[in-house]
Amino acid sequence: MKRMILFLIAFLFVIGLSAQNSAYERPIYRDYGTFKITDGRNVVSVSAFVTIEKVDPLTHVDDVDNNALQMQKTQKMQKNAVIEPKILYHYEVYLVSKSIFEGDTTSTWLYGTKIFINGEDVLINQFPDGFVVSIRTVPTSIYTYHSTKSDAEFEIKWEKAIYEPRIRK
Protein backbone atom coordinates (compact mmCIF):
# COMPACT_ATOMS: atom_id res chain seq x y z
CA MET A 1 0.00 0.00 0.00
CA LYS A 2 2.85 2.39 0.87
CA ARG A 3 4.49 1.70 -2.48
CA MET A 4 1.29 2.53 -4.30
CA ILE A 5 0.92 5.84 -2.45
CA LEU A 6 4.56 6.75 -3.08
CA PHE A 7 4.15 5.85 -6.76
CA LEU A 8 1.06 8.04 -7.09
CA ILE A 9 2.80 10.98 -5.37
CA ALA A 10 5.85 10.64 -7.64
CA PHE A 11 3.63 10.29 -10.71
CA LEU A 12 1.63 13.43 -9.89
CA PHE A 13 4.86 15.34 -9.17
CA VAL A 14 6.29 14.41 -12.60
CA ILE A 15 3.04 15.37 -14.35
CA GLY A 16 3.01 18.72 -12.53
CA LEU A 17 6.58 19.50 -13.57
CA SER A 18 5.98 18.63 -17.21
CA ALA A 19 2.76 20.67 -17.32
CA GLN A 20 4.57 23.79 -16.09
CA ASN A 21 7.16 23.63 -18.86
CA SER A 22 4.77 22.87 -21.72
CA ALA A 23 5.04 26.43 -23.09
CA TYR A 24 8.73 25.95 -23.84
CA GLU A 25 8.04 22.71 -25.72
CA ARG A 26 5.82 24.40 -28.29
CA PRO A 27 7.33 26.04 -31.35
CA ILE A 28 7.98 29.74 -30.68
CA TYR A 29 6.43 31.91 -33.35
CA ARG A 30 8.09 35.13 -32.21
CA ASP A 31 10.30 36.06 -29.27
CA TYR A 32 9.93 39.69 -28.23
CA GLY A 33 12.89 39.75 -25.88
CA THR A 34 13.00 41.28 -22.41
CA PHE A 35 11.81 44.63 -21.06
CA LYS A 36 14.00 45.74 -18.16
CA ILE A 37 14.20 48.69 -15.74
CA THR A 38 16.85 48.69 -13.00
CA ASP A 39 16.47 50.59 -9.75
CA GLY A 40 19.52 49.82 -7.62
CA ARG A 41 19.31 46.20 -6.47
CA ASN A 42 15.70 45.80 -7.60
CA VAL A 43 14.79 45.08 -11.23
CA VAL A 44 11.45 45.15 -13.04
CA SER A 45 11.78 42.82 -16.00
CA VAL A 46 9.35 40.92 -18.25
CA SER A 47 10.06 38.78 -21.30
CA ALA A 48 7.44 37.94 -23.94
CA PHE A 49 7.01 35.29 -26.60
CA VAL A 50 4.23 33.83 -28.76
CA THR A 51 3.86 30.14 -29.56
CA ILE A 52 2.12 28.69 -32.58
CA GLU A 53 0.51 25.30 -33.21
CA LYS A 54 -1.52 23.83 -36.01
CA VAL A 55 -4.79 22.47 -34.60
CA ASP A 56 -7.71 20.51 -35.94
CA PRO A 57 -10.26 23.00 -37.32
CA LEU A 58 -13.17 20.70 -36.46
CA THR A 59 -12.51 20.97 -32.73
CA HIS A 60 -11.84 24.73 -32.82
CA VAL A 61 -14.38 25.95 -35.40
CA ASP A 62 -15.91 28.44 -32.93
CA ASP A 63 -12.48 30.00 -32.26
CA VAL A 64 -11.72 31.05 -35.85
CA ASP A 65 -11.29 34.81 -36.35
CA ASN A 66 -14.26 36.78 -37.69
CA ASN A 67 -12.68 37.48 -41.11
CA ALA A 68 -12.36 33.78 -41.88
CA LEU A 69 -15.95 33.12 -40.79
CA GLN A 70 -17.22 36.02 -42.89
CA MET A 71 -15.38 34.63 -45.94
CA GLN A 72 -17.00 31.26 -45.38
CA LYS A 73 -20.48 32.77 -45.14
CA THR A 74 -20.13 34.80 -48.31
CA GLN A 75 -18.94 31.89 -50.42
CA LYS A 76 -21.58 30.04 -52.39
CA MET A 77 -22.43 26.77 -50.77
CA GLN A 78 -23.70 23.81 -52.71
CA LYS A 79 -26.44 21.64 -51.32
CA ASN A 80 -25.17 19.66 -48.30
CA ALA A 81 -21.64 21.06 -48.72
CA VAL A 82 -19.75 22.22 -45.66
CA ILE A 83 -16.81 24.60 -45.99
CA GLU A 84 -14.24 24.34 -43.23
CA PRO A 85 -10.80 25.88 -42.90
CA LYS A 86 -8.03 23.53 -44.01
CA ILE A 87 -5.55 24.64 -41.37
CA LEU A 88 -6.17 26.49 -38.12
CA TYR A 89 -3.35 28.15 -36.18
CA HIS A 90 -3.45 28.35 -32.38
CA TYR A 91 -1.38 31.24 -30.99
CA GLU A 92 -0.64 31.78 -27.30
CA VAL A 93 0.90 34.94 -25.88
CA TYR A 94 3.18 34.25 -22.90
CA LEU A 95 4.91 36.60 -20.48
CA VAL A 96 7.59 35.58 -17.98
CA SER A 97 8.60 37.67 -14.98
CA LYS A 98 12.33 38.14 -14.58
CA SER A 99 11.97 40.82 -11.91
CA ILE A 100 14.31 40.80 -8.93
CA PHE A 101 13.49 42.11 -5.46
CA GLU A 102 16.25 42.03 -2.84
CA GLY A 103 18.16 39.35 -4.77
CA ASP A 104 15.20 36.97 -5.33
CA THR A 105 13.21 36.52 -8.53
CA THR A 106 9.62 37.61 -8.09
CA SER A 107 6.34 38.05 -9.95
CA THR A 108 5.47 41.25 -11.82
CA TRP A 109 2.20 43.17 -12.02
CA LEU A 110 1.29 44.81 -15.34
CA TYR A 111 -1.35 47.57 -15.31
CA GLY A 112 -3.25 48.88 -18.33
CA THR A 113 -2.20 45.90 -20.46
CA LYS A 114 -3.45 45.89 -24.05
CA ILE A 115 -2.95 43.26 -26.75
CA PHE A 116 -2.91 44.23 -30.43
CA ILE A 117 -3.17 41.74 -33.27
CA ASN A 118 -2.42 43.10 -36.74
CA GLY A 119 -2.67 46.63 -35.31
CA GLU A 120 -6.13 46.12 -33.74
CA ASP A 121 -6.79 46.23 -29.99
CA VAL A 122 -8.52 42.86 -29.57
CA LEU A 123 -9.75 43.44 -26.00
CA ILE A 124 -11.04 47.02 -26.35
CA ASN A 125 -14.67 45.94 -25.76
CA GLN A 126 -13.91 44.00 -22.56
CA PHE A 127 -11.13 46.23 -21.19
CA PRO A 128 -11.19 49.74 -22.69
CA ASP A 129 -8.47 50.94 -20.28
CA GLY A 130 -6.48 47.70 -20.44
CA PHE A 131 -6.42 44.88 -17.91
CA VAL A 132 -4.30 44.05 -14.87
CA VAL A 133 -2.30 40.82 -14.89
CA SER A 134 0.15 39.16 -12.51
CA ILE A 135 3.05 37.56 -14.38
CA ARG A 136 4.78 34.69 -12.63
CA THR A 137 8.39 33.54 -12.96
CA VAL A 138 7.24 30.65 -15.17
CA PRO A 139 5.55 31.25 -18.56
CA THR A 140 2.16 32.83 -17.95
CA SER A 141 -0.36 32.65 -20.79
CA ILE A 142 -2.22 35.95 -21.10
CA TYR A 143 -4.05 35.53 -24.42
CA THR A 144 -5.03 32.83 -26.91
CA TYR A 145 -5.85 33.54 -30.55
CA HIS A 146 -7.03 31.29 -33.40
CA SER A 147 -6.69 32.17 -37.06
CA THR A 148 -6.56 30.60 -40.49
CA LYS A 149 -3.56 32.84 -41.26
CA SER A 150 0.00 31.93 -40.33
CA ASP A 151 1.31 35.50 -40.20
CA ALA A 152 -0.29 37.38 -37.30
CA GLU A 153 1.48 40.43 -35.84
CA PHE A 154 1.26 40.71 -32.04
CA GLU A 155 2.01 43.75 -29.91
CA ILE A 156 1.70 44.04 -26.13
CA LYS A 157 1.53 47.40 -24.37
CA TRP A 158 1.12 48.30 -20.70
CA GLU A 159 1.06 51.53 -18.73
CA LYS A 160 2.90 50.46 -15.59
CA ALA A 161 4.96 47.45 -14.44
CA ILE A 162 5.72 46.79 -10.76
CA TYR A 163 7.62 43.89 -9.18
CA GLU A 164 5.75 41.91 -6.52
CA PRO A 165 7.76 41.97 -3.28
CA ARG A 166 5.45 39.53 -1.45
CA ILE A 167 5.60 36.59 -3.87
CA ARG A 168 9.12 35.32 -4.43
CA LYS A 169 10.27 32.23 -6.26
DSSP result, 17-53: HHHHTHHHHSPEEEEEEEEEEEETTEEEEEEEEEEEE
Threshold 0.85, pTM exceeds: no
Query: Residue 164: what pLDDT?
Result: 81
Residue 42, judged by CB atoms within 10 A of its CB (0-12, 13-18, 19+), counts as middle
Query: Residue 15: what pLDDT?
Result: 61
Query: Residue 25: what pLDDT?
Result: 72
Query: Residue 3: what pLDDT?
Result: 73
CA distances from residue 26 to 31, 68, 91, 113 in whole angstroms, order as listed = 13, 25, 10, 24
Domain definitions of the chain by residue range: 27-168
The C-alpha atoms of residue 106 and residue 136 are separated, in whole angstroms, by 7
Q: Provide the residue-wise pLDDT of the chain in tens; the chain has 169 residues.
A: 777 776 667 666 656 555 555 666 778 889 999 999 887 788 899 999 999 998 877 665 555 555 554 444 444 444 455 555 578 899 999 999 999 888 888 999 999 999 999 999 999 999 999 999 999 999 999 999 988 888 899 999 999 999 887 765 5
Q: How many CB atoms lie within 10 A of CB 158?
A: 20
- Bridge partners of 90, per DSSP, are 53, 146
Query: Residue 169: what pLDDT?
Result: 55
Query: Residue 85: what pLDDT?
Result: 56
The C-alpha atoms of residue 30 and residue 15 are separated, in whole angstroms, by 27
